[in-house]
Amino acid sequence: MKIVTTFAEVRAAHRGTVSLVPTMGFFHEGHLALMRAARERSDTVVVSLFVNPLQFGRGEDLDRYPRDLDRDAALAEAVGVDVLFAPSVEEMYPSEPEIRVTVGRLADYLCGRYRPGHFEGVATVVAKLFAGIQPDVAFFGRKDAQQLAVLRRLAADLSFPVEVKGRPIVREQDGLALSSRNVYLSPTERASALALSRGLARAAKAALDGVRSGAALEALVTNEIDQTAGVDLQYVNLVDADTVQPIEKLDRDSFLAVAAYVGETRLIDNVHFWLRDRLEYQLGERLQSPSVLYERR
């Protein structure tokens, strides 16, 4: 595996079809699943690792976001990544960017409402990755479901010739959705954090039993969180999977998304619903053993 720091070096390493897995590093099995999917799909697998200052608001965790290039390089190499692109802030933003990607109504709700400018920062850096790396396919996790909807529209609306693929959420053994931010949680906070996935699982089961009211499904998650000490709900909303607008009834492809603070740590999670002949839902996949996030180096 090559570790490179410039777009030119990434392009020089392309052979055949190219998959890109954009990340901010501190890999867990969710990232590794995206890399494996990319490996199956293409000749060259590029992983970008860049903690993007543009997508962090004032007072957010840019400075304390976990970083460990050597650890990440070893994990990426073990799953067969060809190129790890770890640019400096200067390579990515040679000067303060004057031209940025704006995001319309897709950012009106959920995280977009509470993190002003976040999706503009994400869309801008991913547009630069698409333009500078020119992948055929790019892989993103469904935990960031609103981000996935934004990036699908980014590719479509700005005519990037890249296929944007979503992959299932990967969960720890007890159901907590994997996030690099899980390493911030104390043991007590970690136990409280399970309220999010518990609430979503209850809502998914209720939907399967025939509940279609968005308010009723949202209330199941709210109740679970309200009953758990140390968890502050930020939002819970059932939204259309493509437009990310709230819907009153579960009558189309959609997702029920939740964000909450556990101590100082902001966590998000969701369950996806698909309406085919009958309702199907996807909470994601559970690990069989403890995550690499907690391995001591």
Query: Which one of residues 19, 42, 44, 52 is an interface residue with ligand PAF (CB under 6 A)?
Result: 52
Number of residues that bind ligand PAF (CB under 6 A): 10
x/- letters, 87..126, toward ligand PAF (CB under 6 A): -----------------------------------x--xx
Beta strand 83-85 with 44-49: parallel, antiparallel or unpaired? Answer: parallel
Show contacts with ligand PAF in window 18-47 (CB under 6 A): 22-24
Closer by beta carbon to ligand PAF, 22 or else 214: 22
Applying the rule CB under 6 A, the residues between 139 and 178 that interact with ligand PAF are: 144, 147
Q: Which is nearer to ligand PAF, 120 or 144 (CB)?
A: 144
Local structure of residue 178 (DSSP, 8 states): P
Q: CB 119 → ligand PAF: shortest distance, Å?
A: 9
Alpha carbons 29 and 287: distance in angstroms, whole number: 8
Q: Which is nearer to ligand PAF, 10 or 225 (CB)?
A: 10
Taking residues 195 to 214 in sequence order and writing x for each that binds ligand PAF by CB under 6 A, - otherwise, the string is --------------------
Tokens of 139: 């892989």
Cβ(287)–Cβ(263) under 8 Å? no
What is the spatial distance between Cα 25 and Cα 180, in angstroms, rounded to a whole number? 8
State in angstroms the smallest separation of the CB of 111 from ligand PAF: 10
| The length of the chain, given as a count of residues | 297
Residues numbered 223-262 forming contacts with ligand PAF, rule: CB under 6 A: none
Q: Using CB under 6 A, pick the residue from 19, 44, 55, 179 that binds ligand PAF.
A: 55
- Cβ distance to ligand PAF smaller for residue 22 or 166: 22
Rounded to whole angstroms, how far apart are CA atoms 281 and 272?
5
CA distance 255 to 237: 8
What's the min distance (Å) between Cβ of 122 and ligand PAF?
Answer: 5
* Minimum distance of ligand PAF from residue 183's CB (angstroms): 15
Torsion of CA 170, 75, 73, 35, to 10 degrees: -50
Measured from the CB atom, the residue of 126 and 220 that comes closer to ligand PAF is: 126
Q: Which residue has the tokens 């619903």?
A: 273
Q: Are strands 231-240 and 254-262 parallel, antiparallel or unpaired?
A: antiparallel
Record the tokens describing residue 140, joined without a space: 């993103």
Active site residue 31: yes
SS3 at position 37: helix
* Long-range contacts of the stretch 123-127 (C-beta < 8 A, 24+): 123/150, 123/151, 123/154, 124/54, 124/97, 124/100, 125/22, 125/50, 125/52, 125/54, 125/55, 125/92, 126/22, 126/151, 126/154, 127/101, 127/154, 127/158, 127/160
Tell me the window of 17-25, 83-91, 183-191, 249-257 that interacts with ligand PAF (CB under 6 A).
Answer: 17-25
Given the residues 28, 31, 118, 272, select the one marked as catalytic. Answer: 31
Question: Measured from the CB of residue 144, what is the shortest distance to ligand PAF in angstroms?
Answer: 5
| Residue whose CB is less far from ligand PAF, 109 or 139 | 139
Name the minimum Å distance from CB 5 to ligand PAF.
Answer: 17
Please tell me the distance from the alpha carbon of residue 9 to that of residue 231, in angstroms, as a whole number.
45
Q: Which residues are catalytic?
A: 31
Q: Which residues bind ligand PAF (CB under 6 A)?
A: 22-24, 52, 55, 122, 125-126, 144, 147
